[in-house]
Chains A and B, each alone.
Chain A
Amino acid sequence: MNYTLLGKKLGMTQVYGSDNEVVPVTVLQAGPCPVLQVKTVESDGYNAIQIGFDSKKDKNASKAALGHAKKAGVAHAPRVIKEVRSPEAIDATPGDVLDVSKFEVGKKVDVIGNTKGKGFAGVMKRFNTKGGPASHGSMFHRRIGSIGLCQWPGHVFKNQKMPGHMGAKQRTIQNLEIVSIDAEKNLILVKGGIPGANGDTVMIRSSIKAKK
């Protein structure tokens, strides 16, 4: 299984690298993530672990959530709970706490998060189409233009680029280099940007494609 943590995007800044060059970094708070439940093929039909992140106040948590946390030996109900599947059986027990210690500086990670929502967007913003001239009486500015042919084929082709909802989708950024790790504060600095706004919840996992 690829080692996975839940975390929070704190923001971007820059640091100086080993060659004194400027490195753009995203600061992530990663974990600590308590294991709430371990699922196996025998009991659930698939292998997975359920991990939590952050905590809710007891008065804001439902009794079910509190009971679920208590069963795993976790004091408060986590704010975020996610399941991580794995093809093989996972060596973990409920109550274990996952943290940044298994990541290494220089290794690659994938970061999964939701992009910022842009609302209902036109084709120029959503698909980078050209649009028309702004002036000289063109009367064709940011519109979509032709969407197809005439009697043949008699319908609009699939995947025709049209206005619609943009953003607020889950996206994965692969192979981001770990620039530094602060185990005490549970911080990871990765090179480059990641989806979402500051404060959004993200998933950080050891890269599935990077060569070891």
Chain B
Amino acid sequence: MNAVVNEVTKEHLKADVTPFKVGDGVKVHTRVVEGGKERIQIFAGIVIALKGSGINRTFTVRRISYGEGVEKVFPVHSPLISQIEVDKESKTMRARMYYLRDLVGKKAMQVKEKRLAKGKH
């Protein structure tokens, strides 16, 4: 992309994005405005894909809700995302975890967890 075009988006980028990877269990806090009031909505699940770069960077979160798979795509730098919490760190062998879509039951939300060094948790 043109350097000048990139420069234009600089002011819209968030400086402090919580680092997370594909496979991590996350809680995404989004600001929802309803009837003039603002509240926080949380969408919790597994990050199954990270796409794009710069201001176009997005991540997909998948969860099983009432037995039905639900995926949401969030722009990383959206001002509507107030916080991203990382619950579980994982050890994955994939860049995109689309195979989870074909799994049912318990397996559908299972990702190899990272064994953290002692004292880190």
A residues with CB within 8 A of B: 10-16, 20, 22, 25, 27, 29, 182, 185, 187, 189, 198
Contacts and interface: CB of A to CB of B under 8 A. Distances in A.
B69 interface: no
Interface string B79-97: 1100000000000000000
7 contacts: A13-B55, A13-B56, A14-B9, A15-B9, A15-B12, A187-B4, A198-B2
A127 to B, nearest CB: 33
Contacts of A12: 5
Interface residues of B, number: 16
Contact of A15 (B2, B6, B55, B80): B55
Contacts of B8: 13, 15, 25, 27, 182, 187, 189
Query: Do most interface residues of chain B lie in helix, strand or loop, or is the interface mixed?
Result: helix
Given A15-B12, A16-B12, A20-B80, A10 B55 contact: no
A13 B1 contact: yes
Contacts of A29: 4
A198 B6 CA distance: 14
A10 B79 contact: no
Interface in B63-120: 75, 77-80
A63 B79 CA distance: 55
A14 B79 contact: no
A27 B5 CA distance: 6
Given A15-B9, A16-B78, A20-B79, A27 B55 contact: no
